[in-house]
Structure 1
């Protein structure tokens, strides 16, 4: 017998949580409702990372241990208070993606089976000009945490040299993300080139620890993944729960 729905009252709305007792993290026993309650507890912080941004839906219908799929198009069956915006991708395809602005919309997205939140680096009001440059520090297997942390500090120094401020967070997996707020005046290719220039700068400062080499067989240490700034890329936002056995969080 299926679990009854759980109704959550939030942001002046009633949001249904289907199958609330479904176990999403078998190792810890955390359920879908536990995940919803977590996001409600950190809603202020979580919304800072996603508010007003189109979002790709990364759905885990069977929880963190099951298969997942990316859904770029918003479900046709949705409440009229769930906002969407039309994105054009490099392939020429169009997609109406969800835009979250409040905690009710956040819970609605999580109820779809979204464990982590994956917003684009643009605002719904200006889809062609990112307001965030994203630095993804992705270590090759075997790199100790201290090396990743040291590279993050070098990223900070490099950004300061350009008059920029980076806001670091753990990726919730193995690395560190550094988000850099920028004016929304440059195109995606321009922001990506800036991220590549930054990656090469960091590599030159600590060549024994960091690399900007694209081919995996040429990498060592911590790869500075500048391609996360391509137009079709999204990155898990701050306070996102990651689909790891221990339900790790991407934490500032």
Structure 2
């Protein structure tokens, strides 16, 4: 039940014993879908059980879009001004040797709802806050260059799955919530530079095995009609959109876990577009398709020849 801040006329709610001021709930953030800020908060509340499991113990970076996807966007790693004292933070190393900075760690529903009220995408590194720079998962961001679409990404994802499984690894996938796919692999905690080097080897191999389709270089002139196999997000300083985060797109799309059967059956780009309203029924039907990714992180594997 809401109370009201009589000075600001802002609804106040209590979440797990924490008082939160929620603002502009009727503001339309996604005009093409009529999706309001209140609906954004509702989405994060009903998917919190799965989302929090993937955010747990990882420093979070925020892509904020308080006026919707067509308004100003800004990416923030540092703790936002006005952050409540009860929000957990972690000291995170920066690129400059010897320097650290604080970032938010979203551990509970109250913190999630506070962060969601800022209107954010959630992005995390491939390592946990108590082991910075030691990746417990690997990611490939498959990004299509027009006229290629997610359909071509699916072809590359299936090749990567077969190749990774040949090295004894478990492989999972989700949509990016934008144009492409993310392929994810749980690992025994390993220095990020080693993971990056291995991921680059596979990206190069994908380009060799899938000529005319896969590309491991970011050069824009080479990308039309091809799928860029972006391995760079395995670097310790990089982050990836978290599973179940909303994205700052024209519609309230979600970075949604998908089955390999869905990837194999993808024939049109719209086959793998999931909006906020689609996710609760999918969780009811499938559970968290990336749940094994969390469970395997501490008992993950290393590829053959990786040591």
Report if aligned partners of 1:158, 1:202 keep a CA contact under 8 Å in 2. Answer: no
Matched, 1:239 2:277: no
CA distance in 2, matches of 1:3, 1:65: 26
Matched, 1:53 2:58: yes
Which residue, out of 158, 164, 169, partners 2:169? Answer: 164
Report if aligned partners of 2:143, 2:229 keep a CA contact under 8 Å in 1. Answer: yes
1:57–1:123: structure 2 CA closer, same or farther, 3 Å change rule?
same
1:3–1:160: structure 2 CA closer, same or farther, 3 Å change rule?
farther
CA distance in 2, matches of 1:183, 1:4: 50
CA distance in 2, matches of 1:144, 1:188: 29
| CA positional deviation for 1:195 | 1.1
* Structure 2: runs of 5 or more not aligned: 1-6, 258-307
Bigger Rg, which one: 2
Which residue, out of 4, 22, 35, partners 2:40? Answer: 35
Report if aligned partners of 2:150, 2:181 keep a CA contact under 8 Å in 1. Answer: no
Matched, 1:188 2:203: no
Task: Please give the residue correspondences for 1:143-158 in structure 2 after superposition, counting only pairs within 5 Å.
Answer: 143-158=148-163
TM-score with structure 2 length normalisation? 0.76
Aligned residues: 249
| CA positional deviation for 1:41 | 1.0
Which residue pairs with 2:82 in the alignment?
77
CA distance in 2, matches of 1:209, 1:70: 31
SS at match of 2:188: coil
Report if aligned partners of 1:120, 1:234 keep a CA contact under 8 Å in 2. Answer: yes
CA distance in 1, matches of 2:135, 2:150: 30
Task: Please give the residue correspondences for 1:1-252 in structure 2 after superposition, counting only pairs within 5 Å.
Answer: 4-92=9-97, 93-114=99-120, 116-184=121-189, 186-219=190-223, 220-252=225-257
| CA positional deviation for 1:140 | 0.6
CA distance in 2, matches of 1:144, 1:83: 39
CA distance in 1, matches of 2:139, 2:109: 24
CA distance in 1, matches of 2:254, 2:111: 20
1:76–1:213: structure 2 CA closer, same or farther, 3 Å change rule?
closer
| CA positional deviation for 1:47 | 1.4
* Structure 1: runs of 5 or more not aligned: none
| CA positional deviation for 1:154 | 0.7
Residue-by-residue CA offset, 1:110-135 (whole Å, 9 max, x unaligned)? 11221x21111111111121111111
Cα RMSD, aligned residues only: 1.8
TM-score with structure 1 length normalisation? 0.92
1:72–1:145: structure 2 CA closer, same or farther, 3 Å change rule?
closer
CA distance in 1, matches of 2:183, 2:17: 34
| CA positional deviation for 1:137 | 0.3
